[in-house]
Structure 1
Amino acid sequence: MAPAFAVFADFGSRPAGLSNAVVRHHRCAVASSYVVVTAGGHLAVDFVVPDHEDTAEAVLRLETLGTTAPVDVVLNGETVAKEFRLPEADTPDALCEYVLSVPGTALLPGVNVLHIRNADGGGGVLRLRSLALDPVEAAERTRRARAARGGGASVRTYATERRPLGAPVWQPGPPLLVHLDQGESLADPAGQEPPTRLAWRGTDGIESSVAFRTDLSGFHGHVRGADGSLGEVRGTLTEQQPRPDGPVAARVRHFVTEEDHNGVWRPAGRLGLLLDDGAPLERVTWSGRSGGATSLSLVTEATGSAGATGGERRDITDRVRELQASDEFTAAGEVAANLLGTARTKWLAQESDPEVIFVFGAPVRVSSYSLTSANDFTERDPSDWTLEGSHDGRTWMTLDIRQDEHFRRRFETKEYCLATTGAFQHYRLNISDNCGDHLTQLSAVRFFDGGEAAPAPETFAFIGYRQAPGAEPVGYRGTNVPAPATGAAPGRTDGQGGEGEELLAGDFSETAQSLQEAAQLLERLTRYLRH
């Protein structure tokens, strides 16, 4: 286990991630992924060294963006570095790390105060991404632990391609978003290391299994479609965020978890999970480089009306926001948009096998649909077709198949029930044949009994197993909880001396490693809030 006084402050997340630290600032501005220390400003980091801790030397690491102003480092009133000049960075936003040696004699039992000051008198700024202070004998271990922690909790987006078995050409696939945050402490970095292997199944029945490159820049694997077809899949990293933010944050599922140890369920921390390739997740398994593995199956319990699960039948055709037809007779106004109306108009395609794609404003569940024949020529009526659903408009799942259908009269409506009622945003009516003409026509298409597939009215849970490196597997389960609060008011830029200091809002989940530390740190917080 890392020594208790190891200090870490990550300003690349909101709120800032803090370990054994309380951070105050003066003449600083809190940006999205760093803290700006203006000329004459400083950060004050309060941390605790246990009474029994005996350290000959410590290592201070500063992670900055671009070339920065000269820095003064003061620990408990003792100057460690005076106007420390940082080398020129290759680019203005280059991420640079600088290491300073701190004598153990400067550390005191109990509360210590570290000041990082901008010593530039000419108006230069210091853009600080993170800082860490560790005993020299543990500095490398904790550096690797934090690297694993940041890699595991980041959000990575991959552009994917798929190639059916035996096919020579790769086809574009849906993007893949990956985020696994098991919230482990620095004492157990394996819990936060990024996955090296990942396998999952969506509610659309598609199963994928991939292995990542060492630097996580891409992956290669295989995929089995819902119909049993096999193929390859590969991905290339296109974007990486340190933490979920904006719309992505709203898509992360959060759980409070437990582990089964000899029949006793014990708390096992929080889990943040996002694995999205267009279909809702059904089960997932991942493993890390250290040998740990986790597998879980997700359970969804609908607490609101799901449309196709009973209740009043509803027509949801008015939720269609876009149509895409393979052909339409625009000169006569017999276009695909007429399919959504109630007047006796029609859609005419100059094909015997046309298709129409209906795009809804949000995913909906459809329990049945209807087709209405047009005004003339029974030979133009569809006879064979499939209705398919898709989450992304590229990968399709067959929902219904009809053959040798016949309409007995003009403007007759026939309704068809679906056995599969998953929630999809795209529905495709793929007509493979009609009743003998080279043209195909319909008067209307309607959809019924759909409910929006928003996560708000659902409660998620999971069961599975978890295996730490070198340990026996244990049962693993979780219950859904709201996302942790991430909002923090930005710090102000204040030039009013020491009275302008403000507390930097932070996530203190790793701050207190003992009751003694918790008491001392909370005491300082209480004093700040009172005054």
Structure 2
Amino acid sequence: MEPVFADFSTTPARLSNAVVGYHRCGVAPSHLALGADGYVKLDFTTDGPEEAAGAVLTVTTLGAGVPMDILLNGKAVAEGLVFPETGGHDAPRDRVLSLPGELLTPGTNLLEIRGPADGEGLLRLTTVTLDPARDSGRARRAMAARASTRSVFAFGTERRPVNSTAWQPASGLLFHIDRGDRAVPAQLSWRGTDGAETAIALRADMSGFHGHYRAADGALGEYRGTLTDRRAYPGGTAGVPPLRFSTEEGQDGDWRPSGELRILLDDGRATPVERVSWTDRRGNAASVTLTAAVVTAEGHAAQGELRDITDTVVDVEASDEFAAGGEVARNLLRRSRSKWLVPDDTAELDFTLQRPAAVASYSLTSANDAPDRDPRDWRLQGSHDGSTWTTLDTRTGERFTRRFETRDFRFANTGAYRRYRLRITDNAGGDEIQLSQVRLLAGAGAAPALAASDFIGYYGPAGESPTGYRGTAVPGPESDPAGIRKEGPREKLLAGDLTDTAQDLDSAARLLGKLAEYLRTP
């Protein structure tokens, strides 16, 4: 019998030798929730003779106290089965059952897991595995091997500043760290080139994490996340190429090759990472500090002159705008005599760049009429994440002497921010504020990128002494075809990965036939 498993802890679910249908269930990032009269059906195949000795079924849930019924080919195997109360409230719990060989039939079989009929509680199902009695654990091993290829993790995140009771939405977190051993991280910490630091501990099933952070301005807070996707490498990197290094391990000056290290860590702040430390599930620990060369978008060394980078603005948002008259914030990016108008004597404009840049000058152009609408007092601020802002330039009592006058404002700044905010706190006496243009200027390497050249650090195998660890950057990305995913409709057919489910032509044909059967069902 091929290994049979259904892993609901990822989206889409990982399936092997199984087509899964469900009814009255909710698909969560880390489990499948069965409500009142809800059920899951696993349609799988057996080869025949080797199943005479029976099979071993393992069902894993989160939490306890919710009964379930288990049927195989329409016959009850267990009724009102309740998991014991052990571990924490959300701790995974396994229940192992022996299935008599006479209940299995050569060819197609149907396993059903039914939730509570009384409507009390939710049965949170994470995995189901089925093994021949002679080789218990085979499906778990196959599932673990398959999961190791899905080494790109995406999380939705929240932050809670110190002394605050409210969690605030934050940018997503995407990471992939692999030394070639496909070991999943248990703890992870990193520091950006702006000085911001973050450390997290991941749940055993990788469904979420909890940690803390120190922002670039020193602000502290908690950090947590929920798994939103787990993808295969390299197709799942979402266009964010990892850093790749050819590495060596050394002790007492003797260095030996140790394979390739890949690091992808994107926390949404668009700030390069300079240090990464992690401990994996096997107890191995590593820490690396990256050295980097600053290059321009054209690949040349950064110079001192300024250039206009307004064309790299991908979004501009205003606290308000006169949309009915077409006098909107987007007009500020055009080289024309259009304008932006807001019916207030204070206003904010937020500019998001395609990539971080160290803006050191900006210009404002007055609009066509009403001089009393001209800005007079304002602050220019920069931010990496859109929540913590640093004031870069402050102006008070400024005046425009004519219409469509452009004035330049230069200031000292070496920090590369992706977001800039113009906060206008007063105008020239009117009830409205208006501008015709805003231009942003930065150094010749206006959108500087940090190209990692090498790293130095340590690697500590589990139970052994740590060794030196160093690496040299490998140019160029890797690529291979992405998997094809299909999603079925009725009895709600669970979305799974066909490349995981079908292991040979026979099973592929059976799977496609089953999919067609579901699609024909009215």
TM-score over 0.5 (shorter chain): yes
**1:248-280 deviations in Å (ceiling 9; x for gaps):** 364333222111211122112222222221133
Shift of 1:169: 1.2
- Is the Cα–Cα contact under 8 Å of residues 355 and 428 in structure 1 kept in the other structure? yes
Shift of 1:316: 2.8
**Match 1:324 to one of 317, 342, 346:** 317
Amino acid at match of 2:286: T
* Pairing 1:387–2:419 present: no
Q: Within 2, Cα distance between the matches of 1:88 and 1:94?
A: 16
Amino acid at match of 1:209: A
* Pairing 1:219–2:242 present: no
After TM superposition, the structure 1 stretch with the greater mean CA deviation from structure 2, 197-206 or 444-453, is 444-453
* Pairing 1:272–2:262 present: yes
Q: Within 2, Cα distance between the matches of 1:11 and 1:422?
A: 48
Trace 1:43-192 onto structure 2 (pairs within 5 A): 66-71=42-47, 83=106, 88=111, 90=113, 96-100=128-132, 147=144, 150=147, 154-184=151-181, 192=182
Amino acid at match of 2:437: A
* Pairing 1:466–2:459 present: yes
* Pairing 1:479–2:502 present: no
Shift of 1:150: 3.9
Shift of 1:179: 2.1
CA-based RMSD of the aligned residues comes to 4.4
After TM superposition, the structure 1 stretch with the greater mean CA deviation from structure 2, 427-436 or 142-151, is 142-151
> Percent identity over the alignment?
38
- Is the Cα–Cα contact under 8 Å of residues 160 and 173 in structure 1 kept in the other structure? yes
* Pairing 1:422–2:416 present: yes
**1:447-472 deviations in Å (ceiling 9; x for gaps):** 234768698x9445322222122222
Residue aligned with 1:147, SS = helix
Residue aligned with 2:346, SS = coil
Amino acid at match of 2:274: E
**Match 2:277 to one of 259, 273, 285:** 285
**1:27-78 deviations in Å (ceiling 9; x for gaps):** xxxxx977889xxxxxxxxxxxxxxxxxxxxxxxxxxx9422232699xxxx
- Is the Cα–Cα contact under 8 Å of residues 307 and 446 in structure 2 kept in the other structure? no
Residue aligned with 1:258, SS = strand
Shift of 1:168: 1.8
The verdict on how the C-alpha distance between 1:390 and 1:488 changes in structure 2, with shifts beyond 3 A counting, is: closer
Shift of 1:355: 0.7
The residue that corresponds to 2:89 in the other structure is none
Shift of 1:157: 2.0
The residue that corresponds to 2:243 in the other structure is 253
Q: Within 1, Cα distance between the matches of 2:47 and 2:411?
A: 71
Gaps of 5+ in 2: 7-12, 19-40, 51-103, 115-124, 484-498, 507-522
Shift of 1:300: 3.0
Trace 1:421-440 onto structure 2 (pairs within 5 A): 421-422=415-416, 424=418, 426-440=419-433
- Is the Cα–Cα contact under 8 Å of residues 317 and 448 in structure 1 kept in the other structure? yes
**Match 2:441 to one of 448, 459, 463:** 448
Q: Within 2, Cα distance between the matches of 1:71 and 1:145?
A: 18
Amino acid at match of 1:199: S
The verdict on how the C-alpha distance between 1:329 and 1:153 changes in structure 2, with shifts beyond 3 A counting, is: closer
TM-score by length of 2: 0.62
Q: Within 1, Cα distance between the matches of 2:460 and 2:232?
A: 26
Q: Within 2, Cα distance between the matches of 1:178 and 1:301?
A: 22
Q: Within 1, Cα distance between the matches of 2:387 and 2:328?
A: 26
Gaps of 5+ in 1: 1-7, 13-31, 38-64, 75-80, 103-132, 185-191, 496-531
The verdict on how the C-alpha distance between 1:417 and 1:183 changes in structure 2, with shifts beyond 3 A counting, is: same
Amino acid at match of 1:471: E
**1:374-425 deviations in Å (ceiling 9; x for gaps):** 454257323221232445xx3344262213252352214113245134252x
The residue that corresponds to 1:237 in the other structure is 227
Amino acid at match of 2:459: R
Q: Within 1, Cα distance between the matches of 2:266 and 2:482?
A: 27
The residue that corresponds to 2:302 in the other structure is 309
**Match 1:359 to one of 352, 356, 359:** 352
Amino acid at match of 1:218: G
The verdict on how the C-alpha distance between 1:459 and 1:193 changes in structure 2, with shifts beyond 3 A counting, is: closer
The residue that corresponds to 1:341 in the other structure is 334
- Is the Cα–Cα contact under 8 Å of residues 345 and 432 in structure 2 kept in the other structure? yes
Q: Within 1, Cα distance between the matches of 2:332 and 2:277?
A: 44
The residue that corresponds to 2:66 in the other structure is none
Q: Within 2, Cα distance between the matches of 1:298 and 1:9?
A: 42
Shift of 1:166: 0.9
Shift of 1:332: 5.2
Q: Within 2, Cα distance between the matches of 1:306 and 1:355?
A: 34
Amino acid at match of 1:356: L
- Is the Cα–Cα contact under 8 Å of residues 177 and 261 in structure 2 kept in the other structure? yes
- Is the Cα–Cα contact under 8 Å of residues 188 and 279 in structure 2 kept in the other structure? yes
The residue that corresponds to 1:120 in the other structure is none
- Is the Cα–Cα contact under 8 Å of residues 150 and 231 in structure 2 kept in the other structure? no
The verdict on how the C-alpha distance between 1:408 and 1:380 changes in structure 2, with shifts beyond 3 A counting, is: closer
